[in-house]
C-alpha cells in the first residue's frame, strides 16, 4: 500500500503547486540599472566616492548619458520591488509572468530598454509611461572591487493612481492577483495607490505584504506607514529597520523577537489572517512570528570567502519568500526559499563583462540573470 500510495501523494502535491499567471503583484520604483567599469577621472568628474550609494543630485544628471557614451555598459531591470519580483519569478520559473509589476517610467530610450529587460526576466511589467520625467536609473560605476551607486528616481516618482492603477485594463491585474507586495519606498510616491491595493487585498482576504525598506521610512514616513499597517498581512524588514521602527513606535524594547511580537499585534483590519512579521539579520537567523509565538530560523551557512556582495540580499530574500507564499506553502518553506535565494545572490559571481572575464561586477540584477542561465533554482532548492 505504502509503495503505491506515496508517489500518488507526491503527484497530487505537484499538481496543487501549479500556479496561475499574474498571481503575484508588485508595485514600486522601476529603475534601469546601468553597470559599467569606469575610470578614476569619471568618478572625479562627478565627485563620486569609489564605494558609495547616493541619490543623484543636479550635478549628476548628465552622468547617465555620459556613462553610456564613454563606456561599455550592461543594462538590467532594477529597483527594490522589481528585483524581488524578478527573484520570485526566477524561483518559480514556470509559467512565465506569475509576477506582475507596476511602476512609472518615461517615454524614452531607457524606458524601452527597461521594458525589454523586464521581458527577459519573464516579469509582466506594465508601466505607466509619461513624458514629463525620464525613466529612473541607477548607475553602478565600477572601479576595481569598488562600486559607486547613483540612483535617480526621476519618472519612478511620478506614478499616479488615476492615470494607471484605476484604469480597468490595469486594475484587472490587481483583481487577478492573490499576493501583493509593495516596498516601503513607495510610500513616498503614491500613498493612494498603496491604500487602494491594500484595501482590495483586505476586503478579498488576499495577502498584502510590505517592507520597512529603510530607517528613514520608519522615521520620516511614520504616519503613512501606520496608515497602511492595519492592512499588512506580511511585514518584512532587516534588523536595523526593525530597531528604528521600534524606537519610533515607542515599543521600549531592543529585543528583536519582542519587536516582532509587538509589531504583529498592531491593529489589523482583516481579522481572518494574523499578521506575519519577518525580520532578517544578515548571517544571524531570521526572526518570524507564527501566531502569537515568535521563532528564529537559521540562515544557510556560507564561508566568508565565498561572499561576493551582500547588497540586494534583502530584496532576494523577499523574492524567495514570496515565491513560496504565492503557492500557499507553509511559512517554514517560505523562509527556506528566502534564505536560498539570498544565498545565491550573495555568493554568485557577479556580472562578468565579456572582454574581461576575470572582472567581477557586483550588480544584483545581473547576478540574477546570470543565475538564470547557470542554474535551475527549483532543482537546487527542493
Ligand X SMILES: *[C@@H]1O[C@H](CO)[C@@H](O)[C@H](O)[C@H]1NC(C)=O
Ligand Y SMILES: Nc1ncnc2c1ncn2[C@@H]1O[C@H](COP(=O)(O)OP(=O)(O)OP(=O)(O)O)[C@@H](O)[C@H]1O
Question: Binding of ligand X at residue 80 (CB under 6 A)?
Answer: yes
315 is catalytic: yes
Question: Binding of ligand X at residue 233 (CB under 6 A)?
Answer: no
Q: Characterize 263-293 residue by residue with b for buried, 16 or more Cβ atoms within 10 angstroms of its Cβ, and e for exposed.
A: bbeeebbbeebebbbbbbeeeebbbbbeeee
User: Which one, 264 or 280, has the nearer CB to ligand X?
Assistant: 280
The answer to whether the peptide bond before residue 282 is cis (omega within 30 degrees of 0) is no
User: Which one, 315 or 324, has the nearer CB to ligand Y?
Assistant: 315
Residues 343-362 that bind ligand Y (CB under 6 A): 343, 346
Dihedral, CA of residue 68, residue 74, residue 79 and residue 85, to nearest 10? 150
**Contact letters for ligand X, residues 302-341 (x by CB under 6 A):** ------------xx-xx-----------------------
Question: Binding of ligand Y at residue 230 (CB under 6 A)?
Answer: no
Number of residues that bind ligand X (CB under 6 A): 25
Binding partner of residue 302 among ligand Y, ligand X, none, CB cut-off 5 to 8 Å per kind: ligand Y
Question: Binding of ligand X at residue 144 (CB under 6 A)?
Answer: yes
Classify strands 31-37 and 73-78 as parallel, antiparallel or unpaired. antiparallel
Q: Are 19 and 325 in contact (CB under 8 A)?
A: no
Q: Are 71 and 37 in contact (CB under 8 A)?
A: yes
Number of residues that bind ligand Y (CB under 6 A): 20
Q: Among 241, 231, 314, which residue's Cα sits nearest to residue 275?
A: 231
C-alpha cell at 313: 540580499
Binding partner of residue 236 among ligand X, ligand Y, none, CB cut-off 5 to 8 Å per kind: ligand X
Binding partner of residue 346 among ligand Y, ligand X, none, CB cut-off 5 to 8 Å per kind: ligand Y
Residues 355-374 that bind ligand X (CB under 6 A): none
User: Which one, 134 or 314, has the nearer CB to ligand Y?
Assistant: 314
Tell me how far apart the alpha carbons of residues 326 and 88 are, in angstroms, rounded to a whole number. Answer: 9
Question: Binding of ligand Y at residue 310 (CB under 6 A)?
Answer: yes
Catalytic residue (one of 52, 315, 328, 358): 315
Q: Among 353, 328, 324, which residue's Cα sits nearest to residue 341?
A: 324
Question: Binding of ligand Y at residue 286 (CB under 6 A)?
Answer: yes
Question: Binding of ligand X at residue 204 (CB under 6 A)?
Answer: no
C-alpha cell at 85: 519580483
Q: Are 370 and 344 in contact (CB under 8 A)?
A: no
Binds ligand X (CB under 6 A): choice among 46, 127, 236, 245:
236
Binds ligand Y (CB under 6 A): choice among 29, 193, 280, 289:
280
Question: Binding of ligand Y at residue 313 (CB under 6 A)?
Answer: yes
| Alpha helices (H) along the chain | 2-16, 40-45, 63-70, 80-92, 109-120, 168-176, 191-203, 215-220, 222-228, 239-249, 256-264, 313-325, 331-347, 364-374, 377-381
**To the nearest whole angstrom, how small is the minimum distance from the Cβ of residue 304 to ligand Y?**
7
Kindly list the residues in this chain that would bind ligand X in the complex (CB under 6 A): 50-51, 80, 143-144, 146, 183-184, 211, 213-214, 236-241, 278-280, 282, 314-315, 317-318
Catalytic residue annotation: 315
Amino acid at each position: 500500500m505504502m509503495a503505491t500510495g506515496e508517489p500518488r501523494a507526491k503527484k497530487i502535491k505537484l499538481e496543487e503547486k501549479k500556479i496561475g499567471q499574474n498571481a503575484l503583484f508588485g508595485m514600486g520604483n522601476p529603475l534601469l540599472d546601468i553597470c559599467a567599469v569606469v575610470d578614476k577621472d569619471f568618478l572625479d568628474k562627478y565627485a563620486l566616492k569609489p564605494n558609495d550609494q547616493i541619490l543623484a543630485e543636479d550635478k549628476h544628471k548628465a552622468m547617465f548619458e555620459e556613462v553610456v557614451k564613454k563606456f561599455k555598459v550592461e543594462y538590467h531591470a532594477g529597483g527594490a520591488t522589481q528585483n524581488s519580483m524578478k527573484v520570485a519569478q526566477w524561483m518559480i520559473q514556470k509559467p512565465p509572468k506569475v509576477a506582475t509589476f507596476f511602476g512609472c517610467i518615461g517615454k524614452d530610450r531607457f524606458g524601452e530598454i527597461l521594458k525589454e529587460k523586464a521581458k527577459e526576466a519573464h516579469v509582466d511589467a506594465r508601466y505607466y509611461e509619461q513624458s514629463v520625467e525620464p525613466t529612473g536609473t541607477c548607475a553602478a560605476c565600477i572601479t576595481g572591487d569598488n562600486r559607486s551607486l547613483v540612483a535617480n528616481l526621476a519618472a519612478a516618482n511620478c506614478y499616479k493612481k488615476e492615470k494607471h492603477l484605476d484604469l480597468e485594463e490595469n486594475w484587472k491585474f490587481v483583481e487577478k492577483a492573490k499576493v501583493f507586495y509593495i516596498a516601503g519606498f513607495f510610500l513616498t510616491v503614491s500613498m493612494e495607490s498603496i491604500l487602494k491595493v491594500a484595501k482590495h487585498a483586505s476586503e478579498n482576504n488576499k495577502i498584502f505584504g510590505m517592507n520597512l525598506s529603510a530607517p528613514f521610512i520608519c522615521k520620516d514616513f511614520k504616519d503613512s506607514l501606520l496608515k497602511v499597517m492595519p492592512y499588512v498581512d506580511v511585514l518584512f524588514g532587516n534588523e536595523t529597520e526593525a530597531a528604528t521602527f521600534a524606537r519610533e513606535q515607542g515599543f521600549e524594547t531592543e529585543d528583536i523577537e519582542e519587536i516582532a511580537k509587538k509589531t504583529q499585534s498592531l491593529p489589523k483590519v482583516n481579522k481572518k489572517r494574523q499578521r506575519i512579521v519577518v525580520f532578517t539579520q544578515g548571517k544571524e537567523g531570521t526572526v518570524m512570528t507564527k501566531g502569537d509565538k515568535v521563532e528564529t530560523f537559521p540562515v544557510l551557512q556560507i564561508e566568508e570567502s565565498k561572499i561576493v556582495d551582500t547588497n540586494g540580499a534583502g530584496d532576494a530574500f523577499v523574492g524567495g519568500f514570496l515565491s513560496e507564499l504565492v503557492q500557499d506553502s507553509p511559512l517554514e518553506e517560505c523562509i527556506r526559499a528566502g534564505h536560498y535565494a539570498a544565498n545565491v545572490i550573495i555568493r554568485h559571481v557577479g556580472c562578468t563583462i565579456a572582454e574581461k572575464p576575470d572582472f567581477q561586477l557586483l550588480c544584483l540584477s545581473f547576478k540574477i540573470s546570470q543565475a538564470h542561465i547557470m542554474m535551475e533554482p527549483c532543482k537546487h532548492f527542493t
